[in-house]
């Protein structure tokens, strides 16, 4: 273990991307995602006569709650169930490389689902002149938030062979992080500030407002890193 190389992240990433896009999985989830977001965006636009991306930034975090577990649930659970994990793990590949390769593949799929919503931005630019600052940071926030969700989803997928269990576990963890600041009125003020800091939505809203604060970035980075570390440790559990 003299050198720490991550050269096998690439092959695992490409294999996972191929697996997503050669099966209907990627297309189905992207279409469903765009249909939901598009429906709300256009109804805002035509029914309420408001030209704004606000709805995208409010709605997408909610859609991610279900979208992300759906794309991450099979990542490790399926390999464990079918036994192909044994093929991977007996190659000269580190467990962390497996986790990272799959993480980046799912993140790519999430970005691919998000990319077509930029069309709304073009529509809006034709109708008015949206402030570019919050739009850019909003998308950055969505990517970071999605990344955290994916890391959690991979952890959930690493603890079971059952994809449904993986889906539910990741949904519950993500939901807890998401709901943490929605219950502030019920808790004493001392706990409230802690809860607020734990809440992923609080940090997302800060970024989406157009302010990139290092506090928020550190939050996203550390939760994401911690979840990936847990996933790697859980994969290595067979060695205990």
Partner 1 sequence: MSIGVRNLVKRYGDRAAINDISFDVKTGEILGFLGPNGAGKTTTMKIITCYMPPTSGTVDVDGMDVREHSLEVRKKIGYLPEMNPLYFDMNALDSLEFAAELHGLRGNAMQQRVKEMVDVCGLEAVRHKDIGEMSKGYRQRVGLAQAMIHDPDVLILDEPTSGLDPNQIVEIRTLIKELGRAKTVVLSTHILSEVQATCDRVLIINDGIIVANGTPEQLQRTFQGAEEIGLELKTSSIRPIEEIIPKLKLVAYVNDVALLSHTGDVSKFEIHAEKGNDVRESLFRMAVSEGWIILEMQRRITSLEEVFHTLTTT
In terms of CB distance, is 8 or 72 closer to partner 1?
A: 8
Closest-CA residue to 102 (of 156, 144, 154): 154
CA atoms within 13 A on the CB side of 177: 24
Instruction: Choose which of 4, 7, 35, 131 interacts with partner 1 (CB under 8 A).
Output: 7
In terms of CB distance, is 21 or 40 closer to partner 1?
A: 21
CA atoms within 13 A on the CB side of 236: 12
Distances (CA, A) of 130 to 40, 47, 124, 139: 18, 20, 7, 14
In terms of CB distance, is 9 or 113 closer to partner 1?
A: 9
Instruction: Choose which of 31, 42, 86, 175 interacts with partner 1 (CB under 8 A).
Output: 86
The footprint of partner 1 on residues 21-80 (CB under 8 A) is: 22-23
Q: Provide the CA 31 distance to its chain's centre, in angstroms.
A: 17
Q: Which stretch binds partner 1 (CB under 8 A): 26-34, 86-94, 102-110, 152-160?
A: 86-94
In terms of CB distance, is 18 or 215 closer to partner 1?
A: 18
Q: Which stretch binds partner 1 (CB under 8 A): 11-19, 35-43, 166-174, 189-197?
A: 11-19
The footprint of partner 1 on residues 91-150 (CB under 8 A) is: 91-94
Q: Tell me which long-range contacts 15-22 makes (C-beta under 8 A, separation of at least 24).
A: 15/101, 16/75, 16/101, 16/102, 16/105, 16/106, 17/105, 17/108, 17/109, 20/71, 20/105, 20/109
Residues of this chain that bind partner 1 (CB under 8 A) = 1, 7-8, 10-12, 14-15, 18-19, 22-23, 82-84, 86-94, 238-239
């Amino acid at each position: 273990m003299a050198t720490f190389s991550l050269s096998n992240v690439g092959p695992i990433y490409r294999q996972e991307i191929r697996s997503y896009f050669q099966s209907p999985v990627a297309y189905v989830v992207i279409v469903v995602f765009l249909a939901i977001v598009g429906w709300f965006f256009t109804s805002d636009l035509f029914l309420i006569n408001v030209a704004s991306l606000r709805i995208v930034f409010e709605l997408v975090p909610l859609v991610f709650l279900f979208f992300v577990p759906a794309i991450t649930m099979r990542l490790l659970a399926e390999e464990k169930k079918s036994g192909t994990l044994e093929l991977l793990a007996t190659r000269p590949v580190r467990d962390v490389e497996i986790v990272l390769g799959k993480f980046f593949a799912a993140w790519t799929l999430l970005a691919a689902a998000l990319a077509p919503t930029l069309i709304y931005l073009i529509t809006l630019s034709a109708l008015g002149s949206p402030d570019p600052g919050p739009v850019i940071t909003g998308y950055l926030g969505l990517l970071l938030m999605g990344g955290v969700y994916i890391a959690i989803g991979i952890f959930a997928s690493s603890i079971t062979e059952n994809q449904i269990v993986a889906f539910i576990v990741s949904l519950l963890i993500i939901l807890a992080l998401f709901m943490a600041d929605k219950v502030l009125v019920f808790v004493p003020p001392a706990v409230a500030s802690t809860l607020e800091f734990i809440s992923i939505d609080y940090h997302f809203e800060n970024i989406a407002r157009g302010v990139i604060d290092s506090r928020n970035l550190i939050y996203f980075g550390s939760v994401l890193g911690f979840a990936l570390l847990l996933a790697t440790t859980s994969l290595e559990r067979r060695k205990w």
